[in-house]
Structure formats: C-alpha cells, structure tokens
A and B are shown apart, each in its own frame.
Chain A
Amino acid sequence: MSIRVQFEAQLRECSGVRETTVEADSISLRDLFVALGQQFGQDFCRRILDDQQQPRRSLLVFVNDASVTASDFETRQLNSDDVVTLYPPISGG
C-alpha cells in the first residue's frame, strides 16, 4: 500500500519536495516518521524525531482531515491511500 505524505514550511525546504509517497505493507505513524527521517537526512530527521527516535510532540500531524495527537503517534496505523500532512512549528513575526 502507499501513503502520501505532504510537507509544509521548513519541512519542504529541508526535504526539497512538497510531498512524497511511502510504500509499506503495514505501518504506524511513528514508523512512517522513521522511514521519512532515513529518506531525507539528518536535518529533516531532527525536525520530526527526537534523540530517542520518538516523533516530536510539537509537530501538527494530520491524517486526511483529522488531527492526530502526539500520544497516538506510536499506535496509529495508517491505511492505503491515507494522506498525511506534517505542519512544523513556525514563529516568524
């Protein structure tokens, strides 16, 4: 199955893409983050995962049109054709 992942703001800049597709048989949100971290390198990885490889809580994550709270990152399983959007914190003023 394939999961579409969309990036906003700095995550576009350090991945170099607006969106990508991840192929997997069965995948949780956390494992998706790990796969994305491996694909897009250190700077990108640090923005979505902490030193323990846990998803950062200060990331707004949407699956399709619903938000996913940080406590569900580990357990939330993704389905084929889900669209995941990652919104990083911004503070420009």
Chain B
Amino acid sequence: MSELPELSDEERSRYAWQMWTPDIGEEGQRRLKAASVLVSRLGGVGGTVAYYLAAAGVGKLVLAHAGNVKPSDLNRQLLMTTNWLGNPRIESATRRLKELNPHTEIVPVAENISSENADRLVSQVDLVVDAAPLFSERYAMNEACVRSRKPLVESAMYDFSAQLTTIIPGRTPCLSCIYPDDPANWKREFPVFGAVSGTVASLAAVEVIKLVTGVGTPLTGQMLWMNLREMDNRKLPIERRSDCPVCGSVDAEPSTDSNLG
C-alpha cells in the first residue's frame, strides 16, 4: 500500500460516499487513483464508462475515439455536446470529463483502435474497456490485451439487448474463443437508446472498479446477456477453446491481491 498515491483533503471529501462502501475505504480509493484504464470509443457505451470512471476517481484514462461530433451522436453519447457539433469528439469528451473531475488525467487519442495502435495504447494502462462498434476493432484490442496479459472488459449492445464479460487472458475465454469467426452481417449502425447503452456501460464501470479494488467477483467465464425488452437477464457460461489462435497457448499467470491479474 505504501506505493499507492496519497489522497488530498479535497479528494477525501469528493469520494467520501464511495469510500463508505464496505471493503473500499481509503485504500480502495488510492488503488483507483493509481489505476489507468483504456476505453475504446466514447459512444453510448464507452463515453458513459469513462464518465463513471472519472467520477470514481480513476487516476488516468486513455481515451480512443476518432471523428467529429454529429447530431445523431447526441441521443446517447453523453460526453458530446450540441455546441461542439462538427468538432472533434475527443475534445468534447476531454472537456466534459475535466469539468466533472480535474483530478483524473486524460490522455486523448483521436484514433480508433486498429492492429497498428492497439499494442501501444494497451501498454499505457492497467486494463481496458472495449465499447467499439466494429468487430475488427474488438478483435485487434483482444489480441493486444492477450499479448500483454491485461484484463479486458467487453461491453456491447444492440437494440434492447446488451452483453458483458470480463476477459482475463490465460484464465478466461478471450473474444476469439467466444466469437471464433468474424460475425457475418454485423452492421456498423445499430438501433440504440442512450438508456440501454448506459445500462451496460454502468455495469462495465462496476467491473473496472471491482478489478482495480479487488472487491467482489468479476464476471469471468460467463457472459451476462441482458434482454431489457422483457427485463430478462441470463448469465451464459462461456469456455476457452484449446484451438483458439489468439489465447490457446497462453497460460494463466499467478494472481495478485487485487482482481487485476
């Protein structure tokens, strides 16, 4: 605990209510301050993940999202603002997060994830949340996380459905174990209410808080599938594939006192 950063009085009062959470306290808050998280895309899911992680006092957020704010972003992308239409999304997101919590260091990256930048971005953080709308971006991130043995929270939605799982490379199925073939017919544009993307985003942020603080049990080896039309939620068991080209030959590393590995 000695290597964890100290909290200022301002930080103690800012985070007081969450530090009351059993098993969190000042040490849990210092773990959050020491943590760094990469969030891929700041849309309806990733933007809300980043918002909650900044609110919770995560020390550093590396945020990847290309492009400019469009009118059709605004029904769900809570870090984008009307006055920033036509300007870079990453700037709107950085400003909103800084307004919420100036203590969180923001590393803005105006790029989407690809096999060219994934390793470099993953190397800057302790763990990753993926909320990209394209499977090609998710596969690239999954491969980089497996290579560097970093935990990856996979969060996705469509219509009133959402799914969530936490990948610990070498211990749990990776994305390529779950979806070995690039899914046919996935379209980049999808039906979405902000309240639905925000639901799975909140749960992804909860997973990050658990991984960083060591509290609770991460959602590993299972996929939470939420059907919000009927409020019917299931935890689906998922398994590693021994022939997985991404993680098949990766062994588990010894775990530490947090849930981070």
Contact = CB atoms under 8 A, between A and B. Distances in A.
Interface stretch (B41-49, B67-75, B91-99, B100-108): B41-49
A9 B190 CA distance: 11
Interface in A1-51: 8-10, 13, 43, 46-47, 50
Nearest to B225: A87
Contacts of A58: 178-184
A70 interface: yes
Contacts of A43: 185
Interface in A69-84: 69-70
B132 interface: yes
B106 to A, nearest CB: 19
B179 A92 contact: no
Given A10-B158, A60-B223, A67-B238, A92 B185 contact: no
Contacts of A66: 237
A60 to B, nearest CB: 6
What are the 7 tightest A-B residue pairs by CB atom distance, in nearest-first order? A93-B131, A89-B183, A90-B158, A58-B179, A92-B190, A9-B161, A92-B157
A9 to B, nearest CB: 4
Contacts of A50: 184
B197 interface: yes
Contacts of B181: 56-58
19 contacts: A9-B158, A46-B184, A47-B184, A56-B183, A58-B184, A60-B223, A60-B236, A67-B238, A90-B162, A90-B186, A90-B190, A91-B132, A91-B190, A92-B190, A93-B44, A93-B45, A93-B46, A93-B131, A93-B133
A92 B225 contact: no
A47 B185 contact: yes
A93 B158 contact: no
Contacts of B260: none
B155 interface: yes
Contacts of B183: 56, 58, 88-89, 91
Interface in B227-241: 227, 236-239
Contacts of B236: 60, 62, 67, 87
Contacts of A92: 44-45, 133, 156-158, 190, 192, 197
Contacts of B185: 10, 43, 46-47
A90 B239 CA distance: 18
Interface string B128-146: 0011111100100000000
Contact of A13 (B133, B159, B182): B159
B163 interface: yes
Contacts of B192: 92
A91 B225 contact: no
Contact of A8 (B138, B155, B227): B227
A66 B239 CA distance: 12
